[in-house]
Copies of this chain bind each other. A is one copy, B any other.
Amino acid sequence: MALGTIHHLSSQITLTNRSHSDAQLGRNASLLLKAGYVAQLGAGLYTLMPLGLRVVQKIEQIVREEMDALGASEFLSPIIYPREVWETTGRWDSIDVLYKLKSRSGSELCVAATAEEIIISAAKRLIRSYRDLPFSAYQIQPKCRDELRARSGLVRGREFRMKDLYSFHLNNDQLNEFYEQVCQAYVRIFTRCGIGARTIRTFASGGVFSRFSDEFQLLCESGEDTIFIDEASSIAINSEIAQDLEALKAAFGDRTYSLTEHRAIEVGNTFKLGSRFTDAFGLKVHDPLGHESSVLMCSYGIGTSRLAGAIAEVCSDLKGLVWPKPVAPYDVHIVALEASEQGLQLLNELTRTLKHQGLSALVDDRLDIRAGEKFFDADLLGIPKQIILGNRTESGQVEVKDRASAEVSVVRIEGVVNLL
């Protein structure tokens, strides 16, 4: 097993900035800024500080594992795209959130906002026969969108990190089968990130892409979206299309339903694109009978940094963040109160034990900070378990506090690992 990571709070650029408070930004941004997970660079632009980056990296590792399990290949496109690639589908002019720029030599480019055109350009060389289908590929990279108003911190910024997956198919049966597999992978991703129970697959508008799409909506009172849930069937529908009879029929068929209104944050979406984009690029294959056939396409997004913001929005209490274990920046937050030789010895023993167990820890051994402030910061940072090394515990004993329940156990240092 790999050794765990031990970092010291004082050596990380993660020092909390407790003076920060900005109600305008929404709960997630306010907490993440206050606890030093992110720093704001401009309107809707956030730098991921070491703690915030660790959360996003954990989410991205979960996403990567689930994409790999689908058999999708990971690639990575540039973050600036030439105008020509977008002209093929006419989206250079139709996407209003593209950040456009001109090079010194006069060529026009835009900053990555979505990548259907890019993956088709690459896939076109590789997909030549129906035998090459289904084919799927994904990337994880920053995307930028020129939103007129940036709101709600990481949840809707002008730049965010995104996993974008694309799949290509011979016919609708093959498409639908893979599409469902991706939706199941999305359910596993949100479950593994600790928000599975409150994330609802929701029937939604297809936007510019198609008639309908699926969204994954995290229930949250401060969410931007309104959805209606039929509790009996567990089917949800976005309010945008709740007046649309065709949509209601597609969602509920002949079932009777009783809808209750909820606020939610969109944490993932999946689109069936049909052949609109592939036809524009002339991507066609011969089917088993030798007939030329359009290639059908889907695209699937999860904003990984937005997901971090959404988790922060719902996983918190009055004292601060309460990270689900799988996405917490560290397993343990060590509050070291005793600077005596005995205290340092205990700290060394503890970090050695954690490290050998492959557990990661953030150590708060700042000298000039009072115990109360350290407790305050530990609750604010929201790491799942706190270990308090203080002079109140008998020699060799430590307090282990569960951040979520606030339950405290006093154990001998050898027994700590069993509690984590």
Contact = CB atoms under 8 A, between A and B. Distances in A.
Interface string A46-67: 1111100100100000000000
Contacts of A372: none
Contacts of A56: 76
A13 interface: yes
Interface stretch (A103-111, A175-183, A344-352, A383-391): A103-111
Given A48-B76, A50-B73, A78-B46, A41 B118 contact: yes
B100 A75 contact: no
Summarize A's interface: helix, strand, loop or mixed: mixed
B125 A80 contact: no
A53 B41 contact: no
Nearest to A125: B17
A122 B13 contact: yes
A76 B101 contact: no
A357 interface: no
B99 A47 contact: no
Nearest to A141: B142
B123 A78 contact: no
Contact of A81 (B13, B41, B46, B126): B41
A126 B71 contact: no
A137 interface: yes
Given A99-B103, A101-B100, A122-B13, A79 B78 contact: no
A43 B111 CA distance: 15
B41 A123 contact: no
Nearest to A85: B41
A326 interface: no
Contact of A103 (B48, B81, B146): B146
